[in-house]
Structure 1
Amino acid sequence: MVWRKLPGGFLLCVMLCMAWTSAWAEVERGQVTNLPIPRFVSLKAEEGNVRRGPSLSHRIDWVFTRRNMPLQVTGEYGHWRRVQDRDGQGGWVHYSLLSGVRHVIVEADMTALRVKPDPDAPVSAHAEAGVVARLESCTLDWCRVIAGGSKGWVEKRAIWGVEPSEIRD
């Protein structure tokens, strides 16, 4: 085998690509969609029946009644997704009731929405616990959200519907 010297940046790129590929392969994937499991989605409809099993013949155990509510997908079977809410309640929902548009739910009461991702940044608004907000972007510790016409950055630990290490542009 013949080796020749390549620019240092090339080696770094190859090493990063190998690490990324390795991490990608380690993530559990859904058998139907090949998307990561678990993952977050939101309820597209005003109401969504949550069934005991993945078919219309299974009993309805719950009815989610909040549009855009964030849910975590924990399983897949055909056109059905096993989901749970922030309290761990859930079951099987038809995929047509779910959306990939991400939303989060505010967990801490009177959470500050800040102008920039900094604990000392000015507060643009406050959100009560239970408010559902649209997720825009995230750094390691902060997420930019839109809630009730207000935009701002919230600390990631104050919301549910995003992985702790998730970064979104």
Structure 2
Amino acid sequence: MSEVFVPLDVFLKPPGREMQAQEPVPAPQPLPEDLEATLRATRRFRAALRDALDAALPSLLEAIAGEVLARELRLEPAAIAGVVATALERVSDDHVVAIRVHPSDCNAVATLELTTIADAALSPGDCRIELRSGTIDSTLRLRLESVLAERSP
């Protein structure tokens, strides 16, 4: 069986009609002035909206991430013990005087056997480690800023 080549335009042309050369598309008519003004205003609005979103997005993301982390710490308060332990690893050779945590987190860090100070000025999930040589501030806000700074281009 031999195959016969049939051009595609033979299949596409309507029956009983020969293919004609395609007519040129006429140039678009100019838009009325009021419609042009509306389109210009819309383009300016979209550009301003995009600029505002670009400016607000980092702080919005930080606020959302902070709320999510705070919620997680309310649901799992024992996680603060891990935060304190991680911060203590950075200063293993310095003498820890005390750790300050929010009063609701005191029970969670009791297993660390360090002097714990309940500090109502801190938020749940925050901690400050007082050392002989200074203080390590490990508040949720600073930890979040650090992570976001590492991820930003």
Name the TM-score class by shorter chain: under 0.3
Give the structure with the larger helix fraction. Answer: 2
Flag the structure with more relative contact order, 1 or 2, with Cα contacts below 8 A and sequence separation at least 6: 2
TM-score normalised according to structure 1 size: 0.25
TM-score normalised according to structure 2 size: 0.27
Give the structure with the larger strand fraction. Answer: 1
